[in-house]
Structures are given as C-alpha cells and as structure tokens.
Amino acid sequence: MDYITYSEGYKYQLEKDYTVKLDILNESVDTDYIDLNTDGMLTIYKGYSWDGPSGPTMDTKDFMRGALVHDALYQCMRMGKLDAKIYRKVADDTMRKLCREDGMGWFRAYYTYHAVRLFGSKSADPAGSYPIKTAP
C-alpha cells in the first residue's frame, strides 16, 4: 500500500528567501531550507514552513519575522546542528530584537521573551520535534 509521511504544527510558508545578520559567528549550518554561514548570515529559503508565534499570543505582523528566525534557529538546535546550551539564549534575544525593530511594544516583547526563556527548552531539544505520521 502507498502511504505518505507528514508532520503537523506548521501554519506559514515563506514565499521568498529571507536573510538576516545574526550574532552567531564561526558556526555553519546547511539544510534544505536553512543556511547559516560562519560570518553570521542566516538565510531561510522560500518554502520553509513554521508555526508562527507560539503560546498564548496573537500572530501579528510585529511578531512574524522574529518567530520565523526563532523557529529556524530552534529547528537547527533540534537537528543537533547548533548547541542549545550555547545558542538558545541567542535565538531568544534575536527574537526579541527583531520584534522590537518591527514595532512590538516593549511590554509584549518583554513577556514573550521571558515566556520562551521559561518554557522553550523542550522546543530546542531533539526530542521536541514534531512526530512523523503516516496515512492512510
């Protein structure tokens, strides 16, 4: 019998490549949808899927870029391509910085940052990946 494999949890798909400079140097990640070079340039390629802002929050324009980059970096940690002990805080700091640049108020940026600091460790752990399912 033919079947498909898939995973749930994604809401958004990037429609064109996005590149941003990060404070992550001397690391290299190369996947189908994420490229991080040793100069800190992160490129997320068209077609990348992510779940947007997580938790009890709204998916607003001032949160989308921060959530995209944050999700891509956490995915790299889940894949074992970045060390979560070193880079999880960098990813969380980057999310807050991008959200503030995009117009998010300081209070919302403050509590969303602290929420990912308190509750985000499982999402950076390889065991926190979305389970692969099959159908039919």
Q: In this structure, which long-range contacts are made by residues 22-26, counting pairs with CB atoms below 8 Å and at least 24 apart in sequence?
A: 22/69, 22/90, 22/94, 23/90, 23/93, 23/94, 24/82, 24/87, 24/90
Structural domain total, the chain: 1
pLDDT digits (tens, 9 = 90+) for 124-136: 998 766 778 888 8
Opening angle at CA 125, ends 42 and 111, nearest 5:
75
pLDDT of amino acid 20: 98
7: pLDDT strictly greater than 70: yes
In a domain, 54, yes or no: no
In a domain, 116, yes or no: yes
Query: 16 CB contacts (<8 Å, ≥6 apart)?
Result: 46
pLDDT digits (tens, 9 = 90+) for 93-134: 999 999 999 999 999 999 999 999 999 999 999 876 677 888
The boundaries of the domain holding residue 89 are 13-49+61-124
pLDDT of amino acid 57: 86
In this prediction the pTM is 0.90
